[in-house]
Copies of this chain bind each other. A is one copy, B any other.
Amino acid sequence: MKTSRQIVLASRPIGEPILQDFRLEEVPISGAGDGEVALRTLYLSLDPYMRGRMSEAKSYAAPVPVNGVMDGETICEVTESKHSNYRVGDIVRARTGWRTHATLSADTLKPVKTNGAPLTTALGVLGMPGFTAYSGMKLLGQPKSGETVVVAAASGPVGSLVGQLAKMAGARAVGIAGGAEKCAHVKDELGFDVAIDHRSSSFAAELEAACPQGIDVYFENVGGHVWDAVLPLLNRFSRVPVSGLIANYNDPESAGADKLPATMSAILRRSILVRGFINYEFENEHYDAFLAELAPKVAADEIKYREDIVDGLEHAPGAFIGMLSGKNFGKLLVKVAQDL
């Protein structure tokens, strides 16, 4: 009998996830029924939002149940099809989660369109991370020429495109990253105007110096002490698309002083817009335009991206835990199939 390996949520993490919160299982797999396709996973995308799915809080998506397969987007190959749109060997984008094989309704699959760029870009710069940057900037942040855009995790798959989109709009791009190597990449490879190391003891002063005209768009994907440094610099009518809060995921009940009054007061006094979002809400209306605009630029190397590929599904939990503390460098992917 054929089997699939899968990683399930063994327990809800308290604070930082640990390896024991995950469990690797081997389970039998069924063939495709009517309207279904059987898939083998080529690549799994690991993303910060998954930390949220491990908790029970009310959200746009239901939490992963304990003992349930970890959720996630993948690039898969069709191994059996009972749907006329798909043939064996087709490559699709699917939401199979952290597992080597899955059988899904064909309705849930999406085509992979990369305009000749590598397949993995469909999970990165041309996939949900790229579209997160695009929708947050184009639809919410809306940087104008001469404005200042700040983004953290600037060497990551979302932040790196946020900065490049800011430059394309004629804005000043200030990137925040962890460590000298990532900062050099942000400035020299990605073309940000300034890169700042958030681990520096003078981080807040360096950020202020990098934004002499204040901040007009802050693309929020980290929270924590970066937000504390950004808040005093936000200009009147500035926009804050909130895409992630990786610094808060593991520590939702901070023990420090209450920072909410200062944040709300700044929002009030400076007419600041703060808007949480998830890329899905814009997908139907804007994903095609995103691909049409950016895929040619990626193919032409006008937009830069970087990938960090880990080999083997069994290493996904460790890689994911490392990502939450900034250990990855570029879009984190797991190569699941062994024969690629």
| Minimal beta-carbon separation of A114 from chain B (angstroms) | 28
Decide: A276 and B281 in contact? CB cutoff 8 A. Answer: no
| A309: interface (CB < 8 Å) | no
| Minimal beta-carbon separation of A241 from chain B (angstroms) | 10
- Chain A, range 21-76, C-beta contacts under 8 Å to B: 52, 57-60
| Minimal beta-carbon separation of A261 from chain B (angstroms) | 4
| A245: interface (CB < 8 Å) | yes
Q: Which of A223, A253, A266, A275 has the most CB of B within 10 A?
A: A275
Decide: B261 and A60 in contact? CB cutoff 8 A. Answer: no
| A340: interface (CB < 8 Å) | no
| A265: interface (CB < 8 Å) | yes
| A202: interface (CB < 8 Å) | no
- Chain A, range 255-306, C-beta contacts under 8 Å to B: 255-278, 281
| A243: interface (CB < 8 Å) | yes
Decide: B275 and A236 in contact? CB cutoff 8 A. Answer: no
| Minimal beta-carbon separation of A290 from chain B (angstroms) | 18
Instruction: Say whether, besides A271-B276, A272-B275, A275-B271, A265 and B252 are in contact (CB < 8 Å).
Output: yes
| A108: interface (CB < 8 Å) | no
CA distance A304 to B285 in the complex (A): 42
Decide: A267 and B252 in contact? CB cutoff 8 A. Answer: no
Copies of this polypeptide in the complex: 2
CA distance A237 to B282 in the complex (A): 13
CA distance A60 to B252 in the complex (A): 32
Residues from chain B with a CB closer than 8 A to the CB of A13 are none
| A145: interface (CB < 8 Å) | no
Residues from chain B with a CB closer than 8 A to the CB of A242 are 264, 267-268
Closest to A252 in B: B261
CA distance A265 to B255 in the complex (A): 16
| A338: interface (CB < 8 Å) | no
Residues from chain B with a CB closer than 8 A to the CB of A325 are none
| Minimal beta-carbon separation of A48 from chain B (angstroms) | 11
| A254: interface (CB < 8 Å) | yes
Residues from chain B with a CB closer than 8 A to the CB of A59 are 269-270
CA distance A276 to B273 in the complex (A): 7
Closest to A49 in B: B268
| A326: interface (CB < 8 Å) | no
Contact for A263 among B232, B260, B281, CB less than 8 A: B260
| A248: interface (CB < 8 Å) | yes
Q: Which residues of A contact B (CB under 8 A)?
A: 52, 57-60, 220, 223, 227, 232, 236-237, 242-245, 248, 251-278, 281
List the 10 closest A-B pairs by CB distance, nearest first.
A59-B269, A267-B276, A268-B276, A254-B258, A259-B260, A274-B274, A248-B261, A260-B260, A273-B275, A242-B268
